[in-house]
Chains A and B, each alone.
Chain A
Amino acid sequence: AQSVTQLGSHVSVSEGALVLLRCNYSSSVPPYLFWYVQYPNQGLQLLLKYTSAATLVKGINGFEAEFKKSETSFHLTKPSAHMSDAAEYFCAVSSAGGSYIPTFGRGTSLIVHP
């Protein structure tokens, strides 16, 4: 079985501040991990993914995430928030040998204040 927990349904930051969105996963086999972003009234699009190569993964729009096996975490960060980063962010996990269909977290809404 696999599952994802996203801590905090809403995260509020000021423009220019660090963005940190938390994701913890559970998987009985080595996982593949994804972060997706959803802008208002749109579908999800991939930000970045971890597929067992480098543990630090860089994505689009300046986001990155670090896979930490010991902590079963895959937190998403961005050094400096921009107003255009305001969106819903979803973490997802899938696993070869387990379910190849990703399981999604409940999402975190990022609010960016001017």
Chain B
Amino acid sequence: DAGITQSPRHKVTETGTPVTLRCHQTENHRYMYWYRQDPGHGLRLIHYSYGVKDTDKGEVSDGYSVSRSKTEDFLLTLESATSSQTSVYFCAITSSGGAGNEQFFGPGTRLTVL
């Protein structure tokens, strides 16, 4: 199994509070991604990174920011959590940006915003 961990695995928070989710990899892969999974929507890309300090937006980036100061860590921050951000969040990695490369996924973080 690819070495990808996510923390925390579960979190309950209140509307308006900031939340940071962490993705840590031991594979030294260059590309990292944050997705959210919601019933009926599949996986939707929030942000991705193609190297240290290099990030870009995905299709559902509003309300989220990311940072990558080290190859192994990719942080997702909800600046002011809202109930619509209740979801399961997955981190994924690939070794390169080629279109044929498979993604390796972390175990997910279940976030509930009350």
Contact = CB atoms under 8 A, between A and B. Distances in A.
A70 interface: no
A55 interface: no
Interface residues of A, number: 25
Interface string B71-114: 00000000000000000001010000111111101111000000
Interface residues of B, number: 23
Contacts of B105: 36, 43-45
Interface of A: 9, 32, 34, 36, 41-46, 49, 51, 90, 94-96, 98-102, 104-107
Interface of B: 4, 33, 40-45, 48, 58, 90, 92, 97-103, 105-108
Nearest to B56: A101
Contacts of A102: 103
Given A43-B107, A101-B33, A34 B99 contact: no
A51 B42 CA distance: 22
Contact of B106 (A43, A99, A100): A43
Nearest to B107: A43
Contacts of B33: 101
Max count, chain A CB within 10 A of own CB: residue among B90, B97, B99, B107: B99
